[in-house]
Homo-oligomer: A and B are copies of this chain.
C-alpha cells in the first residue's frame, strides 16, 4: 500500500493574497472549482483579516458563500484574532487556521503581535472555534527565519507549539514563510515540536524562495509528516518584488511524491492545466516547474 500524503491547497489564499492581479469572486470560485476537479479536498479558500492590510482577501465572505457545498471539500479560513474568527464562523468555514508568529519584528509588521501575544490571542479565540464545533489548526509563521530579525530560535517555535496544543489546536503547521529553511533544520524543528506538542498532527508550509522547497517537503515526508501545504502554479510571489517568491507548487510536490510512490489523490494533468489557466487570469507566468517542463512517466513504486 502506498503511503498517503495530503496536500492542503493554499493558492486561493496565500497565493492570491500576494499576487498583483485582482481576481473577481467568480474567478476565485472558478479557481477553487478547478482545484476540486483536480482532486483537492482541503484548501485555504480565504482569509478574515483586516481588509485594509490585505485587500485581496476582502471578498472572502463572498467566496465562502459561493463555493459548491455539494462537494466534499473542506474550506479553511485563516484568522488572526477574535474578530476574524467570528467572521470566519459566520462565513461557514469548515476549518479555521490561526496564525502564530515565531519572531518579533515580522510579528509586529504582519499582525501587530509579538510571538507571545499571538499565542495569547490563540488561547483567547480557541474556545469560540471549538465550541462552534469547527476544527482548529494553526500555522507558526517565520518558524525558520525572519526577514528582519534573522534566524529564529527553535525554542520559541517549541514553546509556541506547546501553547497551541494546550489551546486545543488539532493540527499545527510550521511555516517557512520567507523560504530560508534547509532539510536539516526542518527535521530538527519537527523533532522539537513533537517533543513539545506530541498530540498535534504536523503539517508543513514551505516557500521556494531559495530553491530548497521540495528538499524540505521530502525531508518532512521522510520524517513522517503526512500533510503539506502547496499552491497551484507556485503562486504567492510578487513579480515586482523579486525576493518574494511563492509557496511550493502543488504540481511540483505532486510530481515528486507520486513518482516516488506516494499517493496524493491529485491529478497532475489537471493541476498543470489549472496552472496554465491561472497564467491567463493573472496575466503573468507562474513559477512552478511542472507547468513549464510537463510531467514525466510516473514511477508508481511505493517509497
Contacts and interface: CB of A to CB of B under 8 A. Distances in A.
A260 interface: yes
Interface string A240-263: 001111001100100111011100
Interface stretch (A78-86, A116-124, A178-186, A195-203): A178-186
A289 B218 contact: no
Contact of A296 (B145, B249, B255, B257): B145
Select the residue from A245, A261, A289, A296 with max chain B CB neighbours within 10 A. Answer: A296
B243 A292 contact: yes
A162 interface: no
Nearest to A182: B260
Interface string A174-218: 000011101111000000000000000000000011111111011
A62 to B, nearest CB: 34
B210 A213 contact: no
Contacts of A260: 182-185
For this chain, the copies found in one complex come to 2
Interface residues of A, number: 45
Interface string A259-301: 1110000000000000000000000000011101110110100
A211 B213 contact: yes
A212 B252 CA distance: 8
Contact of A256 (B182, B222, B242, B294): B182
Select the residue from A184, A210, A211 with max chain B CB neighbours within 10 A. Answer: A211
Nearest to A245: B293
A249 B210 CA distance: 10
A293 B293 CA distance: 22
Given A218-B218, A219-B218, A261-B184, A212 B256 contact: yes
A209 B299 contact: no
